[in-house]
Amino acid sequence: MILLGLILLAFAIIAYWIYTADHYDPEEMPFSFGRQYFRIDGYWLGDDNAGFCNYLVTDYDDAHLDDDDMIFYYGLSEAEIIEAIKLGEDSVHPFVITNYRKEPNYGKY
C-alpha cells in the first residue's frame, strides 16, 4: 500500500513537471532570468576612433522581451569581453572594448 502511494505521488510530481514545462511562457519569467548583462566602454575602429561608454551588452544572442532597443550587442559573454579587451584592436569586432562592468540590476525594475 505504501509502495502504491509513493508511485502515485511520483506520477503526480512528474505530471505537474510536464504540465509546467509544456506551458512555460518566457514572457512570464523574470526579465533577466538566465542572462547576464554588462556595460562596456571603448571606441570604434576607424579614422576618428570615436569613443563610447556605458553601452549595454548581453551574453545571449537574441532579443528578450522588449529590450531590443536597449542592447548594443548580443552574444558577448564575460569571457569574450575579457578576451576582446586583451586583444585590443586585433579583436574581431569593429570596436575596441577598454573596460567593462557587470550590470546585475538590468531588467529587475
**pLDDT tens-digit map of 11-20:** 788 777 666 6
Higher pLDDT, 30 or 3: 3
Give the model's confidence band at 26: pLDDT under 50 very low, under 70 low, under 90 confident, else very high.
very low
Tell me the domain boundaries of the chain: 31-102
pLDDT value, residue 43:
95
Q: What's residue 97's pLDDT?
A: 96
Contact between 89 and 45 (Cβ < 8 Å)? yes
In degrees rounded to 5, what are phi and psi of residue 105? -100, 5
Q: What is the DSSP code (8-state) at residue 17?
A: H
Q: Across the chain, what does the average pLDDT equal?
A: 80
Q: What share of the chain is helix, strand, coil (3-state, %, to 5)?
A: 35, 25, 40
Q: Which residue has the higher pLDDT, 108 or 78?
A: 78
Predicted local confidence at residue 61, as pLDDT: 72
From 22-26, 87-91, 96-100, the region with the lowest mean pLDDT: 22-26
Q: What is the pLDDT of residues 55-90, one digit of tens each?
A: 999 888 766 555 667 888 888 999 999 999 999 999
